[in-house]
A and B are shown apart, each in its own frame.
Chain A
Amino acid sequence: MLRHLFTLIWNRKRANMLLISEVFFSFVVLFGVGAVLITIGKNYLAPHGFDYTDVWRLQVRAGQGQQMPRAQLDDVLRQVKALPGVRTVALTSGNMPFIFSTNNSTFGYEGNTALANVYDADDRYTDVMRLHLREGRWFEAADDASNHRPVVISQDLRETLFGKGPALGKIFTWSHHGPEATKPEDEFLVTGVVDNVRTANDFAAAEPGVWKRLLPHDTTSWETANVLVRVAPGQGGELQEKIARTVAGVTRQWTTEVRVMNDDRLSKRRYTLVPVVGLSIMGLFLIVNVALGLFGVLWYNISQRRAEIGLRRAMGATGASISRQFLGEMLVVTTLGVLGGLLLAVQFPLLGAFDLPAQPYMLAIAAATVAVYVITALCAWQPSRLAAGIHPAVALREE
């Protein structure tokens, strides 16, 4: 029977080539769409790596062309922190999460280089943002004595720069520095490693991050200060107004805007949702289309063989042996098509295409394989229903 099966497959090679290429293309499309959708879904479900609830951001402006004396800035921070309902305040840079502002650089360590977002942060920053510390510690007052600039880095950056080796206490710098010696504040001393963070939007992948400790003289040329405030749960407009009045109370010319980080997240999500939903709908549409196409081609191919089924029944085949034959044929044809698709698909994780991790690709390969086999099995099921349902004479007449 096995020999007969392969004879039949070989003799029907032209029809089978078409089926194989249909399976191949379906597999590739299912894989591609699957990889995109799985990546988006996986990102969406991944933790952000920080806690955006009850975090507000202030943009304190000194006024056109005015700089901020550090003493006054500290005064503002102290007074805001003292307001009832405010838990902690921290200074940072303008590239806060979920807003259209980024700041990145390439860093290097012993030949390893990585692009990373660069955030300014003070010693209170992590109390506000609640980053998840994995190794070491956040920087603190004791670091004032350091000859280098203390930094905390994200796990993904740690892996690229230091691999499996130790990271704490290591010093790295910009990747593009020349032979001339770097300034001490550009030599970054790793004091801690935190979990990966996703700061761009809810659907974005994690990006490497470096949190640079703000040194006092960093702020001297600031015209704007970006302040993060963690408030008690349930705080609203009243506290926002109080904060604005407090800032204006310290210095007449200074103004501030108070924004809720969760609102930033939602509005950024609304903005990114359009392409994501569009892509998903297109992807699902493609999947349904390809599935129906494959189904149609296989179904048609098998319906063409009703007479053959009738004849085999007339020659003494049972319904079960008919199903076995067709399932076997479809299994071989599908496997050939899937093998072709696999050969192409595994290149993506192997070559690390689009700088994505291998896992979504492997998941997409698994999903596409399962989908293609399920569809072909369903189609191969048809002849057995046919064989069981109609008399050989009836099937034979349909030639």
Chain B
Amino acid sequence: MENLLATPPDTRPQPPLNSPAAAETPVLQLTNIEKVYQTNTIETVALNRVNLTINRGEFVSIMGPSGCGKSTLLSLMGLLDEPTGGTIAIDGRAVTSYSDRELAGLRNLKIGFVFQSYHLINDLSVLDNVELPLLYRPSLSGKERRQRALAALDKVGLSARTRHFPGQLSGGQRQRVAIARALVGSPEIILADEPTGNLDSVMGEEIMDLLLGLNRQDGVTIVMVTHDEQQALKTKRLVRLFDGSQVG
């Protein structure tokens, strides 16, 4: 599988999305996924036999009632957790066959993750937070890292807040920092858990347009959890979850 980061930028006029062959290339493949949370006495089945294939260049939205397992599904796709059953394949290769170091590389280069609860580091400035994924790419110079972080912040409209700390920001601003951090590494896949959940409709639209633009122009594969039907309609494909199972 060729790495998108390695593709020359001048292929842009013909995004892989537009070629039928590329659209059929699976990036993420989930087979019979099961996730059971075991607490002292209670067993919660968060996901039950979920089968899902995400192809390159797709924009998929996931909807479903609260507690149905959307975040759980996303964190499995983001290689942040292991399923209790079933297999996850990334670029056609089972995740369990990757070493810890390789997994770290995948998370760093291939995936940008927007957490539902942002997860910013409170002791780091907005700029440092956004730079974080780039720190684990030793090939980048400090100056380059800084420039890319500033560009990402500019995209989410937070250029004026780079020296602030997360504690000094509104919920919506924090969400946008989290989005900028997911974009900064130019990942192949963006996994966003309710990225507009805390934004007003205007800002929400802007972020949505940003994601749509990334998808269309740069061919970034996006999986987004949302509660907003309007937003879901703008994406190519909608996956509905109910009580841990896929219903459409």
Contacts and interface: CB of A to CB of B under 8 A. Distances in A.
A313 B104 contact: yes
Contacts of A312: 132, 136
A184 B240 CA distance: 114
Given A7-B124, A396-B80, A315 B101 contact: no
Contacts of A317: 104, 108, 135-136
Given A7-B128, A307-B119, A315 B107 contact: yes
Contacts of A310: 119
B81 A394 contact: yes
B128 A315 contact: no
Contacts of A396: 80, 115, 119
Contacts of B5: none
Contacts of A319: 100
A12 interface: yes
B92 interface: no
Interface string A180-199: 00000000000000000000
A314 B136 contact: no
B104 A3 contact: no
Residue picked from A11, A12, A310, A393, most chain B C-beta under 10 Å? A393
A393 B105 CA distance: 17
Contact of A393 (B80, B121, B128, B136): B80
B48 interface: no
A100 B75 CA distance: 79
Nearest to B117: A399
Interface residues of B, number: 32
Nearest to B113: A314
A66 B109 CA distance: 104
A316 B81 contact: no
Contacts of B133: 315-316
Contact of B108 (A4, A308, A316): A316
Contacts of B243: none
A277 interface: no
Contacts of B128: 4, 7
A366 interface: no
13 contacts: A3-B142, A7-B124, A312-B136, A313-B107, A314-B113, A315-B108, A315-B132, A316-B107, A316-B108, A316-B136, A317-B136, A318-B104, A391-B81
Given A4-B131, A317-B108, 17 more contacts: A4-B128, A312-B132, A312-B136, A314-B80, A315-B108, A315-B133, A316-B107, A318-B100, A318-B104, A321-B136, A388-B100, A391-B80, A391-B81, A392-B107, A393-B81, A396-B80, A399-B117
